[in-house]
Structures are given as C-alpha cells and as structure tokens.
Structure 1
Amino acid sequence: MCHQQRRVRTSTGTRREEETMAKSGLLFFPRTAETVVTAARQMESLGYDLLGLADTPALALDVYVGLTLAALNTSRILLGPCVTNPVSRHPTVTASAVASIDTISGGRAYLGISGGYSGVHNLGLRAASTTSMRHVVPLLRDLMAGKAVAVDGGTVQIAWARRPVPIFLAASGPKGLFIAGQVADAVFVNVGLLPDLVAEAVGHIRRGAEASGRDWRQIEIWVMGVASCAEDAHQAIEEVKGAAVGIASYVLSGNPRDKAIPRGMEEAVARMCRGYSTRQHLQPGTNPNVVLAEELGLMDYLLERFALAGSPEDCRKKAQALEALGIDGFLFSVSASPDLYRDIRMLARALGTGEQPS
C-alpha cells in the first residue's frame, strides 16, 4: 500500500521528500446496488483510500443505502456522502445517517458536504449559502459526537453517537475556501486541476485557518476533478466531456472575478451556466450540456482545467504536477463514465494506488 504515512506540510506548503504520495479517492453515482458493491470491492482491492457516493436523489439510489452496501462489502476504505447538503436533509438526519455508517463500517465514515447542487436543484430547492457552512459544519460535528445542540429553537441530541466523524467541506470560491479553513477537518478543493489555481486555493484555506487560530497544516487538502482513463486517450477524452461540463457549471457560476475565468470567456461561461440542465447532470454519453459547451467554444478549456483524461501516462503526468504542491489527496468523479470498472482500474494504474493485478 502506498499511503501509510500522514504527510506533514512545511511552512511553505510543500511536502518533505521522504513523505508518501498523495491519497486517492473516486466518487460516483450509486445507480444500482450491483454497481456500488462491485465498484467498492474493486476500489478497495486496488488500494484506493476513499470512496464517495453522490447524494442526488433524482438521479441515483439513496446515498446512505449505497454507503451501507459499500460498508458491508469492504473492510478498509473510507466511505462517505460526496457530497451531501444541509437543505434536502436536516443536519440532524445527516449526522445520524453518517454516524450510522461509521458504526456499520467500524469507524471508516467521513462526511462530505457543500451548499448543494443537483441534489438540491432537482428537488426545486435552493442551495445553502456559503456563509451558512460556518455554522453547519460545527453543528454536524457536535451532533455526531453525541452532544446536545440548539437547532431551530429547540435542543437536539443523537444520544448514541460517539465519534465526531471527519468533515470534508467542498469549496470552490475564495469565501468558501476561507470558511473551510476555519471549520473543516478536510477540504475538497473544487477549483480545477491547474496548479496555479490550486495553490491560490490553498492560500485561502490557510488564511481562514490562521484567522481562527488553527494550524492549517492539520487540515487535509484534497483536489477535486473529473476523470476518465483508457489505453485509447481520445476515447477517454470524449467520455469525460459531460463530466467536465458538469463540474464547470457548478464551479464557474457566480461572480466571474472569483472564478479565474480567462478574459474573453466570461460571457460564454455565463451562458453555459445559465443553460445547464441539472436533470442531465453527469449522465453518460453526449447530452445537451455537452452540445451547449461545444457550441460556445468552451470544451477545450473545460477539459484542460477540470479533467484528468487520457492514457494512464497522460493522467499520471497531470496528477504529478499537482502532487508537487504537497496536497494530501485526489478526489475524482467518475460518475459519467460509460465504463466505470475500467476507469477504476486504469486510474489506479495512473495514480499508483497499489499493486495491480496481472
């Protein structure tokens, strides 16, 4: 196994040469029970560190049913919703569900959370504000530790819960990254895969931690993106297009000054975000969202910024450039993959997650 030693970043944010390579995780939609069980077993056997299931009720099975299946069919890998939100599920319900997964799995749960996207919009709801996460994360932590907390004018306690499961906050803008540095145990940095953007994001996390008197080096930093890996690099790139548009429609929405959008692309990006259909979110194959991005001339940029795609060698080179920043882990979505098991296998080879079967 590759990831037996916890990395400790130096004051400059770089990792020491003797420390191990970054951890690796994949997230996907729990489309069927068979998919969850097979993928979870495959990921564990190939040495992945973390498995995430999307919480998107209109597009996939219930996330906690899926996590229960994964927990009962694995023994080592970390498991969690990736990501849930505080809108479609009350924080107490989420805390109880994640604490339940932690119990079932023997202490292997984590909680991934953000303001919400497809899991909220497809229910006709609005995402939680970025600022609200400053309150939501500590609330969830206390609930999972079995503490009595004030919620909506009353007092709530999950009396049987005992462990504050690690909370990963997904963040993409300066404010969200700053808040993540203030309150989260770990951060899913969702700004893309360009090293300069990731380095800038880490700076926001560091400033948030320091503003709250925390040691930012104790916060795990995981870089998010979408991925597709095949011996045929062209095939992998074609297959990841829908996922690249999907993640971009979320990350690049809002104030363009906070999104590092290249000059001259602002209007095209805004049109893409306005026209994006969350009902087609991360669906395999060519869908209207892909057509829209291609018509707007954005696809090459979206692939460069958000996707790890191509042959194992191509993917390895892009990952190594990010690993040099001293990040703790990679989290790649393979939700739109038409061949999930191939991507799990090929990405393990690209990321060096463990010994590969012959």
Structure 2
Amino acid sequence: MDRWGLSMGVSPREPLANVTELAAAAEAKGFEAMWFIDFQLGMKDVYAAMNLAALATEKMYVGSAVTNLLTRHPTVTANATIALDELSNGHAMLGLGAGWSAVYGAGGKPSKLSELSDGIDEFRALFTGEEQELYGTKVKLATATRQIPIYLAVSQPGMLRLCGRKCDGAVLMGAADPEFVDWQLKYIYEGLDKAGRDRSELTIDLVVTMAVDDDEEKAMSGVRAWATSQAATFDVWKTMPAAWEKFRPEFAAANSQYHLVDHLSRHAGHKQVVSDEFVKSVALAGTAEHCVARLKQLCALDIDRITFALLSGGRMRHMEQLADEIIPAVRA
C-alpha cells in the first residue's frame, strides 16, 4: 500500500483561500486525494472548499467526507458533485454517510441503513442523466455526464456490509488499530461476497489521525479531539471488537458531553473525557519512530489508501512533515 490522502474541514477561524495553497502543495507532494468535512454549523462550506481544491490541482481526487441525505436533497448534492467533477477534471468523489454532526446539529436523526441503501441507488440513477421515477415524480439531471464514484463512511457491521454490496469505495472510520481494522474488513468482505463482487471493485480508504512529537503528552493532546469524536459515535454500537468493550463507559461520557459546535476543535473542553489508553488505541500519537512503526502495520492490511485527518492548526506544516519525513520512512 503506497497511496495517500488528506482529510480536513475549514474552521470558522481560517480563510477559505488557504485551501488553494494547501491543495496545490499536497498534490505536488504526492497526495492523491483530499476529503472535506461537511458540517454546516461548525465549519465553512464544504462545496466552496472542494471547488477551491479542484481549481488548484490537476489530478487530485476531491470529495466530501462525508455528506448525508438529509441536510441537502440528493438532487442538489448530485448536481453540486457533478460541478465539482467538471472543476476537478473528472476526479470528483461523492462521500456519503448516515449523518452525525451535520444532521444532529440541524435537529435531525441519522439515516437508517435501508434509507442509505435507497439513497445510493438514487444517486446511481441521477448520474445516468436519464429520466427517472424518483421522489414521487419524474426527474432528470441535465448536467450528468458519468457515474461519479460513491464512497460510504463505514465503521459498524451493517454499514460495512452495505458498502461491500453497493459502493465504489469505503471511507473506513474508527481506529488506527490493525486488529480493529481487520475486524471491519471481514464485514466488507461479507458484503462483497453477497453481491458477487470482486475485491478490486472497491477502494478502501482508511482514515487515521496522527500527531508526531517527542513530547508524548503534546502529541496526545493533538489527537485527543479526534479521539473524543470517535468515542461519542461508538456509544450506540451494539457490536464491537471484544477488546474495546472496556471503553464503553468512556463512549457514554463522550456522547453525553460532546458539543457539536466544537466538533474536532483542539480547544474543545469535552476532549478530556477519554482516557490516554483509548486515545493511543484510536489514533497515532508519539515520536516519529512510533508513528512510522504503527503506520507500517496498517499498510500491511488489505487497504488501498491511508488518509490523514489534518486537524486545524499548522496544516501546511503537518502535511509537509507527512510527505517529507513520515511517508518516506514508511516506504523504507
């Protein structure tokens, strides 16, 4: 595995124009994909950010990681993604999920598995550009030119199976832990098998968060907000690897204390509710040697790309560190 991507959201405190410089530099450094977070209450507009990245690059894959079926009508999302595809020279990706921060923040509830399955089918139909019977009427997306690849943000068994059955890619969320990822991959395989699909038909993109520093406590602080967001989503899980059952009290605490307006913020007060042990399990934090060793274990898994979540604060510096120091050491 030697394919690398980046994921980010544009915080209210940073200029959107920064995306242009960062995307161009990332492509020059060899990153092949950039994902942008869709959270309308806590971050700047995802489509503005994605379009800027597309205009600043030539071959970079650009997509939402992830949007949902609720805060925007699927016809609006499809049309906006087609525009992104044009601006990115045919390199758009549609990242879809059940919905969490964006949906809860707007007073909604995440999509059920059946609703997501139907939504994937609807996007496929819209991308044909042909007249379709959808939403109780006849619709035709005049701008459609091709089937834009659909990625599903997945972590739990049902979503993992659905992704294996129907999607072009998986945005694999959860933990930068080999045993955890292996547990998830088995459910993706079940979905592929049920649909009679080959593993090569699915791009598996593992999202990890990493902070490199000789001061372990400082490194831990850099990824704690991400770890807390993951803990909050784990609270509703019915099934998880046995080794993670011990963290359930932390998941409940994170879920009850999480403030959506501070989603992924390094300054959020709620980030202190999870233990160091959980942070070390879900993210990569420590010296360069430690992080490289962990990444090598992940690269040995059956995944196609590793995407690094770039949290706010020194994004360019972190991206350059990844490209110039960490990734070459992993390759070595």
Equivalent residue in structure 1 for 2:283, among 297, 307, 313: 307
After superposition, the C-alpha distances for 1:47-72 in whole angstroms (9 at most, x for unaligned) are 11110111111111111111111111
For 2:272, the aligned partner's letter is V
Q: 1:47·1:354 contact (CA, 8 Å) conserved in 2?
A: no
Residue aligned with 1:258, SS? coil
Moved more, 141-150 or 255-264: 255-264
Asked whether 1:199 is paired with 2:182, we answer yes
- Correspondence for 1:6: none
Gaps of 5+ in 2: none
- Correspondence for 2:95: 112
CA change 1:258–1:234 in 2 (3 A) is closer
Q: C-alpha displacement at 1:240, in angstroms?
A: 1.4
The 5 Å alignment of 1:266-345 reads: 266-285=248-267, 287-293=268-274, 298-301=275-278, 303-335=279-311, 337-345=312-320
Q: C-alpha displacement at 1:232, in angstroms?
A: 5.0
Runs (4+) of structure 1 exceeding 4 A deviation are: 230-234
Q: 2:59·2:89 contact (CA, 8 Å) conserved in 1?
A: no
Q: How many residue pairs were aligned?
A: 327
- The TM-score, its normalising length taken from structure 2, stands at 0.92
Taking only aligned residues, the RMSD between alpha carbons, in angstroms, comes to 2.1
% identical equivalent positions: 27
Q: C-alpha displacement at 1:165, in angstroms?
A: 0.9
For 1:135, the aligned partner's letter is D
Q: C-alpha displacement at 1:278, in angstroms?
A: 1.4
Gaps of 5+ in 1: 1-20
Q: 1:67·1:101 contact (CA, 8 Å) conserved in 2?
A: yes
Equivalent residue in structure 1 for 2:21, among 32, 38, 42: 38
Greater fraction helix: 2
The 5 Å alignment of 1:208-247 reads: 208-230=191-213, 233-247=216-230
After superposition, the C-alpha distances for 1:241-273 in whole angstroms (9 at most, x for unaligned) are 1121112322x1213433656344323322222
Q: C-alpha displacement at 1:33, in angstroms?
A: 1.3
Q: C-alpha displacement at 1:160, in angstroms?
A: 2.3
Q: Quote the Cα distance in structure 1 between the aligned partners of 2:330 and 2:90.
A: 22
CA change 1:61–1:262 in 2 (3 A) is closer
Asked whether 1:149 is paired with 2:132, we answer yes
Moved more, 256-265 or 22-31: 256-265
Q: 1:230·1:346 contact (CA, 8 Å) conserved in 2?
A: no
- Correspondence for 1:11: none
CA change 1:191–1:239 in 2 (3 A) is closer
Asked whether 1:26 is paired with 2:6, we answer yes
CA change 1:260–1:127 in 2 (3 A) is farther
Q: 1:191·1:201 contact (CA, 8 Å) conserved in 2?
A: no
Q: Quote the Cα distance in structure 2 between the aligned partners of 1:354 and 1:133.
A: 36
For 2:256, the aligned partner's letter is R
- Correspondence for 1:66: 49
Asked whether 1:167 is paired with 2:150, we answer yes
For 1:326, the aligned partner's letter is D
The 5 Å alignment of 1:91-130 reads: 91-130=74-113
Q: 1:48·1:353 contact (CA, 8 Å) conserved in 2?
A: no
Residue aligned with 2:92, SS? coil
